[in-house]
Chain A
Amino acid sequence: MALDLSMPVLVVDDYKTMIRIIKNLLKQLGFEDVDDAADGTEALAKMQDRRYGLVISDWNMEPMTGYELLKQVRASDSLSKTPFIMVTAESKTENVIAAKKAGVNNYIVKPFNAATLKTKIDAVFDS
């Protein structure tokens, strides 16, 4: 899968500041079309309306967490192939294992930097 900087990217986080940080980092990396959602429910609704090339999601959100969003995305015929990166402060081993089992493409532990974000995005599209 090739990395296309013009593809729409969906950032999902309940903290506006974190959305702003990730969107700015993505713009610095060259992504032009970055959309956002405040939780899993909103993200899922947006994904039904538009085909995103990448989803970058937090874990701990209400009412629908990033983990639930990931499972719903993977369970959906039309969305199951969407690359999904979890960006979260949840850093317990069982979280990483659960995310991988649910089909996450990569996992970034907060706090993170631009280089880590770029490396993980590249890794997802290189694999």
Chain B
Amino acid sequence: MNRCLLQKIIRSSAVKRDLPIATSGVNMAQSEQKALQTNIEQIVEYLEHNKSHDVSLTDIMSLAEVMADSLDAHVEAIDQHAYSEFTAIAAEITCMKQEIAALCPTDMRNNSIPDAGRELDAVVDATENATNTIMGAAEEIMCADPSNHDDYAALVNDKIIEIFEACSFQDITGQRISKVVRTLSLIDQRVSSFIERLKVQDLEEPTAQEESEEERRRRELILHGPQHSGEGVNQDDVDQMLQDIEFDSVGDQEEKKSDQSEIDNLFA
């Protein structure tokens, strides 16, 4: 390679600088990159073959300028691509914000969920009051003196009416619970719609979350709470278990608790 070739490479690179910049994506940028690489290889080859000869400062400056300018097209192509990507991400974020806004999260946080909580508190209070009224009436009947028949009959009659009145709590608590169910349905509907629009899918293997202190306590102390009808064991099952399982084998049975069929066999 001689000085003429160096000049040719410099001219070639200079022409490439004037080529239209990649405007439509990665393919154009790749061709630019290839041309740049070829130029650099030729320059390196030239410099290696002419190590012993003098290279003028002008040539070195020209080469540096060509290399720096050659990168412009590549950098600009990257800029264009990154700009497109960021625009798409911004559009997605805007869309997601609109979807979240459609959930009316502020309304849920400020109104729906607190209202549901207040309704449930009212249910607890109403059932407690009714239970106390009914039990109070029953206790008065239990403690009443039956020797005076008329007085006893009148007292029992009054207390029975009190019990009937107290039982009317069921109507109001039923309405309150219906309101809570409606709120939960609304939340479920909005969240389901949100998940559907964003096409969110469950992870096949959910990432393990650290167990909280409360969860650890509930696991270690075997706190499951009341079971629904048909779940858990009934009193007959419990009686059978207490009768059948020998104390010595209890440890073994516990080891097998993860195998439901083994447990089910206890009740067969």
Contact = CB atoms under 8 A, between A and B. Distances in A.
Given A24-B139, A65-B221, A90-B222, A97 B238 contact: no
Contact of A65 (B223, B235, B250): B223
B263 interface: yes
B134 to A, nearest CB: 10
Contact of A108 (B132, B135, B142, B235): B235
A71 to B, nearest CB: 10
| Max chain A C-beta neighbours (<10 A), residue from B138, B233, B235 | B235
What is the predominant secondary structure among interface residues of chain B facing chain A?
A: helix
B196 to A, nearest CB: 35
Contact of B224 (A27, A68, A90, A110): A90
Contacts of A90: 222-226
Contacts of A98: 222, 254
Given A17-B131, A17-B132, A100 B222 contact: no
B163 to A, nearest CB: 15
A92 B234 contact: no
Contacts of A60: 223, 225
Interface residues of B, number: 31
B167 interface: no
A89 B234 CA distance: 10
| Max chain B C-beta neighbours (<10 A), residue from A93, A94, A98 | A93
| Max chain B C-beta neighbours (<10 A), residue from A60, A97, A98 | A97
Nearest to A108: B235
Interface stretch (B12-20, B46-54, B76-84, B239-247): B239-247
A110 B263 CA distance: 21
A101 interface: yes
Nearest to A105: B242
Contacts, number: 85
A93 B257 contact: yes
Interface string A44-64: 000000000000000110000
A95 interface: yes
A110 B257 CA distance: 22
Contact of B227 (A28, A91, A112): A91
A107 interface: yes
B259 to A, nearest CB: 11
Contact of A92 (B132, B221, B224): B224
B206 interface: no
Contact of A94 (B132, B138, B242, B254): B254
A92 B232 contact: yes
Given A90-B223, A110-B226, A100 B245 contact: yes
Given A67-B222, A92-B224, A97 B245 contact: yes
Contacts of B138: 24
Interface string A104-127: 001111101000100000000000
A21 interface: yes
21 contacts: A17-B128, A17-B132, A24-B138, A60-B225, A68-B221, A90-B224, A91-B233, A91-B234, A92-B222, A92-B224, A92-B233, A93-B241, A93-B263, A94-B257, A97-B250, A98-B254, A100-B247, A106-B242, A107-B242, A108-B238, A109-B232
The 4 A-B residue pairs with the shortest CB-CB distance in the complex, in nearest-first order: A91-B232, A89-B226, A101-B250, A93-B263
